[in-house]
Amino acid sequence: GAGVSQSPSNKVTEKGKDVELRCDPISGHTALYWYRQSLGQGLEFLIYFQGNSAPDKSGLPSDRFSAERTGGSVSTLTIQRTQQEDSAVYLCASSLDGRTQETQYFGPGTRLLVL
Amino acid sequence: AQSVAQPEDQVNVAEGNPLTVKCTYSVSGNPYLFWYVQYPNRGLQFLLKYITGDNLVKGSYGFEAEFNKSQTSFHLKKPSALVSDSALYFCAVRRGNFNKFYFGSGTKLNVKP
């Protein structure tokens, strides 16, 4: 079946502009995660959605970052007033039901470059 | 605090030789441990996981990992490396009832012909 998809694959923007990154999880997966991977760094957890529960936003680095998940499926990560340090690969993952032993399946990522 | 350490930024091995990519963790409670691989310009692919039971876990592409509770380690191994195994490998840990994955910084594996 189809995996996790993300769009756009690449995004170049100017400092101060807003960007939206999209994630389509695997059909039927109730848990969705966003991570950030900076050059030479590991993955940094950003936010987690599980069903209709309130999201775990504890990893969002600033109030410029927000995310929503509509209808329990597609998610959008929004970065307002982008800064150069926001340049990174943003990865989305989904899992069947969010239990800790469940495998997360990752999308190919969106490579964001802020000039 | 929960954390994962991958002490080697890079591992070099010759094709056909055994490989080991090291991972140690610090987590309270029972850990759930995962290995992922990332090929250039690709997302992370799941390799294997330890949840409970047998300490030796076998996964995709001939990889295996051994959970060692006393040493808090979960090293990734393969008996005979292939050039196509060259990629970036990430170790990750979760603990019961908590949503977050804690990822290591990654180890670049270079397998030379």
Task: Please report, for the domain that includes residue A52, its CATH number.
Answer: 2.60.40.10
Q: Is A2 a domain residue?
A: no
Token pair, residue A32, equals 């969705």
Calpha distance B85→A49 (Å, rounded)? 33
CA B83/CA B97 separation, integer angstroms = 38
Position B99 confidence tier, pLDDT thresholds 50, 70, 90: low
Please tell me whether residue A114 adopts helix, strand or coil conformation.
strand
Q: How many domains does chain A have?
A: 1
Cβ neighbours of B94 in A, within 8 Å? 100-101
Q: Is B67 on the interface with A (CB under 8 A)?
A: no
Under an 8 A CB cutoff, do B99 and A50 touch?
yes
Backbone angles phi, psi at A86, to 5 degrees: -80, -10
- According to the CATH classification, is domain B3-112 in 2.60.40.10? yes
Two tokens at A109? 């990522």
Average pLDDT over residues A32-44: 86
* Distance (Å) of CA A44 to CA A10, A22, A88, B12, B103: 19, 18, 11, 26, 7
Q: Is residue A44 part of a domain?
A: yes
A40 lies in which domain range?
19-97
pLDDT digits (tens, 9 = 90+) for B19-64: 999 999 998 888 889 999 998 877 889 999 998 888 999 999 999 9
- Give me the pLDDT at residue B50, please: 92
Joined together, the tokens standing for residue A36 give 């950030």
Distance from CA of A46 to the nearest CA of B (A): 9
